[in-house]
Structure 1
Amino acid sequence: MLAPSSKMSRHIFIQSLLFAVLFVILLIWISSPQARFSSDTVSTAVSTADSTVVSTAVSTAASTAAPARLQPDIPNYAHFVFLLEKPESDFPFVFFQYLSMYAAWYYLRPDKIYLHTDAREQQIKRAREGLAGKWSKLIFEIPGLTINHVKSPTVARNGVKIQHMAHKSDFIRVEAIREFGGLYMDFDVFAIRDLRQLLTSGFESISGREPGGLMTAGAFLAQKQSKIMNMWAEQMHQVFDQGWITHSNGLMTRIGEQLIPDPRQILVLEQDAFTPVTYSPGGVESFLESHQNVPSALQDHKDGETLPFLNHYDEPQGSGAMNFNKSYSVHAFRIEETGIEVSPRSILERRSDIGRVLYPVVRDMYNQGVISLDEK
Structure 2
Amino acid sequence: MLLFSNGPGAAAKLRRLSPRLLFVPAALVFFSIVLLGRNTSFSSRRSFFSFFGGACPPTPDSQPPSPNAIPNQVHFVHIFNNGVTDFDFQFKHFLSIYATHHYWRPDAIYLHTNADEAAIERAQTEGTGKGGKTNKWNKLIFNSVPNLRVNRVEVPKTAGNGMAINVIEHKSDFVRTEVVRKMGGVYLDFDAHALRDVSPLRECGFAAIFGRQLHGQINNGVFFSRKYSLLLNRWWEEMNKVYNGGWTTHGNGVLTWLGPRLAGMAGGEVLILEQDALNPGSWEVEDNIKLFGLHNETASNLPATFKDGDPLPTYLDTNEERWTLVRDKKKHPAWERDYSSTWVLHAFDPVRNRDPVPGFKHITPRYVFERKSNFARAVYPVAKAMYDAGLVKADDLYKGED
Question: TM-score, structure 2 length as denominator?
Answer: 0.73
- What is the deviation of 1:281? 2.0
SS in 1 for 2:314: coil
Residue 381 of structure 2 is matched in structure 1 by 360
Residues 288 and 340, structure 1, Cα contact 8 Å, conserved in 2: no
Instruction: Give the count of matched residue pairs.
Output: 307
Q: What residue number does 2:254 align with?
A: 251
Structure-2 residue corresponding to 1:56: none
Q: State the Cα distance separating 1:302 from its structure 2 match.
A: 3.5
Residue 138 of structure 1: aligned partner: 140
Aligned pair in 2 of structure 1 residues 160, 183: CA closer, same or farther (>3 Å)?
Answer: same
Take 1:326 and 1:159, find their aligned partners in 2: how far apart are those partners? 42
Counting only pairs closer than 5 Å after superposition, residues 212-251 of structure 1 correspond to structure 2 as 212-251=215-254
Q: Distance in 1 between matches of 2:301 and 2:331?
A: 8
1:157 aligns with 2:160: yes
Aligned-partner residue type, residue 167 of structure 1: H
The equivalent position to 1:127 in structure 2, one of 100, 107, 123, is 123
Question: Which residue type is aligned with residue 331 of structure 1?
Answer: H
Q: Secondary structure at the match of 1:267?
A: strand
Structure-1 residue corresponding to 2:282: 278
Q: 2:197 aligns with which of 183, 194, 205?
A: 194
In 2, the alpha carbon distance for the partners of 1:293 and 1:199 equals 40
Structure 2 CA distance, aligned partners of 1:117 and 1:286? 33
297-306 or 258-267, larger mean C-alpha shift? 297-306
Change (3 A) 1:236 1:254: same
One-letter amino acid of the counterpart of residue 374, structure 1: Y
- Per the alignment, residue 338 of structure 2 pairs with 323
Aligned amino acid, residue 283 of structure 2 = Y
Provide the rounded CA distance (Å) in 1 between the counterparts of 2:136 and 2:350.
20
Give per-residue Cα distances to partners, 1:266-324, cap 9 Å, x unaligned: 11111100011132223123211211011111126632212121157784343222110
SS of the equivalent of 1:161 reads coil
Give the alignment of 1:304-343 within 5 angstroms.
Answer: 304-311=309-316, 315-337=330-352, 338=356, 340-343=361-364
Q: Could you tell me how far 1:71 is from its partner in structure 2?
A: 7.2
Q: Contact conserved, 1:113 with 1:144, CA < 8 A, in 2?
A: yes
Measured in 2, the distance between the counterparts of 1:93 and 1:347 equals: 17
Q: Is the 8 A contact 1:188 1:335 kept in 2?
A: no
- Quote the residue 2:398 is aligned against: 374
Residues of 2 paired with 1:286 and 1:294: CA distance? 15
Match of residue 32 from structure 1:
none
Structure 2 counterpart of 1:184 = 187
**2: CA distance, partners of 1:119 / 1:285:** 34
Q: 1:180·1:224 contact (CA, 8 Å) conserved in 2?
A: yes
Amino acid at match of 1:139: I
Secondary structure in 2 matching 1:286? helix
Matched, 1:82 2:78: yes
Determine if contact 1:155/1:162 at 8 Å carries over to the other structure: yes
Deviates more, 1:70-79 or 1:231-240: 70-79
Please give the alpha-carbon distance, in whole angstroms, between the structure 2 residues aligned to 1:89 and 1:177.
Answer: 23
Matches of 2:316 and 2:165 in 1, distance apart? 42
**Partner AA of 1:298 in structure 2:** L
Matched to 1:352, the amino acid is S
Identity within the alignment, %: 38
5+ residue gaps, structure 1, are 1-69
Deviates more, 1:113-122 or 1:82-91: 82-91
Q: Which runs of 5+ in 2 are unaligned?
A: 1-65, 130-134, 323-327
- Residue in structure 1 matched with residue 207 of structure 2 by the alignment: 204
Q: Which moved more, 1:131-140 or 1:167-176?
A: 131-140
For 2:347, the aligned partner's letter is: A
For residues 167-224 of structure 1, the C-alpha deviation after alignment (integer angstroms, 9 at most, x for no partner) is: 0000000001101000000011111111111110111111111111011100010001
Within 5 Å, which residues of 2 pair with 1:85-104? 85-104=81-100
Q: Separation in 2 of the partners of 1:301 and 1:216? A: 42
Please, which of 173, 178, 199 is the counterpart of residue 176 of structure 2?
A: 173
Q: Distance in 2 between matches of 1:257 and 1:351?
A: 39
RMSD: 1.7
Letter in 2 for 1:267: L
Q: Which residue, out of 95, 114, 134, partners 1:118?
A: 114
Q: Distance in 2 between matches of 1:73 and 1:301?
A: 48
Pair 280,335 (structure 1): closer, same or farther in 2 beyond 3 Å: closer
Counterpart of 1:278 in structure 2: which amino acid?
Answer: S
**Conserved 8 A contact 1:96-1:342:** yes
Query: Which residue in 2 is equivalent to 1:348?
Result: 369
CA distance in 2, matches of 1:249, 1:169: 13
